[in-house]
């Protein structure tokens, strides 16, 4: 089972329809079970019984989750695979010593692959949908996997299967979620 963490400002907001349920649909197509938990409802407890965690994105300017980064300390303490999408990447960057900086992008962007990895196919570049006002600096020791002209688009922890993606794979790059789940989140891992 994968825990999907809804990072939006309010549980049950319309953002769930736009940023969480499309990830759930990808997991359904992959044959993976999931559970949705709002970030204010102790997701760390739900994560004890799962095979992986996905921190879902939020609408532009929905940054309330950044006011309490300490409430996500459970992520730094888990050995589970974690995929942070957009807002989720921001949380991962903060937890690992990176920073969240201004870096707005909206629309389609060319993303260049800079390093090979089980989650990133052996391609030079791909188009991705961006919808963010912030970007992240690379946390110490992390590896940049992809970038655009404006910011880091994907990074990875060098030791654990912890990934951040700034673009929204639920829009045109479902393969990111599929490859992450296939590589790291199967019960037999």
Q: How far apart, in whole angstroms, are the C-alpha atoms of residue 47 and residue 81?
A: 10
Three-state SS at 30 = helix
With respect to residue 189, please indicate whether it lies within any of the assigned structural domains.
no
CATH of the domain at 171: 3.40.50.880
Give catalytic residue positions. 86, 168, 170
With respect to residue 159, please indicate whether it lies within any of the assigned structural domains.
yes
Do 20 and 56 form a contact (C-beta atoms < 8 A)?
A: yes
The whole domain housing 164 covers: 2-184
The total of structural domains in the chain comes to 1
Contacts of 28 (CB under 8 A, 6+ apart): 34
pTM of full prediction above 0.85: yes
With DSSP H G I counted as helix, E B as strand and the rest as coil, what are the percentages for the chain, rounded to 5? 30, 30, 40
In tens digits, the chain (189 residues) has pLDDT values of 999 999 998 888 888 999 999 999 999 999 999 999 998 887 767 777 899 999 999 988 888 888 888 889 889 888 999 999 999 999 999 999 999 999 999 999 999 999 989 999 889 999 999 999 999 999 999 999 999 999 999 999 999 999 999 999 999 999 999 999 999 997 643
């Amino acid at each position: 089972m994968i825990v999907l963490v809804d990072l939006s400002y309010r549980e049950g907001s319309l953002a769930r329809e736009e940023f969480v349920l499309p990830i759930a649909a990808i997991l359904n197509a992959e044959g993976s079970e999931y559970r949705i938990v709002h970030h204010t409802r102790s997701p760390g407890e739900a994560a004890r019984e799962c095979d992986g965690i996905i921190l879902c994105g939020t609408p532009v300017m929905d940054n309330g989750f950044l006011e309490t980064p300490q409430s996500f300390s459970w992520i730094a303490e888990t050995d589970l695979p974690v995929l942070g999408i957009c807002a989720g990447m921001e949380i991962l960057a903060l937890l690992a010593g990176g920073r969240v900086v201004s870096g707005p992008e909206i629309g389609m962007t060319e993303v260049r692959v800079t390093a090979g990895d089980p989650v990133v196919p052996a391609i030079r570049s791909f188009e991705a949908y961006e919808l963010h006002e912030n970007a992240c600096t690379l946390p110490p020791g992390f590896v940049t996997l992809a970038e655009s002209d404006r910011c880091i688009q994907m990074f990875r922890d060098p030791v654990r299967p912890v990934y951040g993606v700034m673009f929204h794979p639920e829009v045109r790059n479902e393969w990111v979620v599929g490859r992450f789940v296939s590589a790291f989140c199967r019960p037999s891992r």
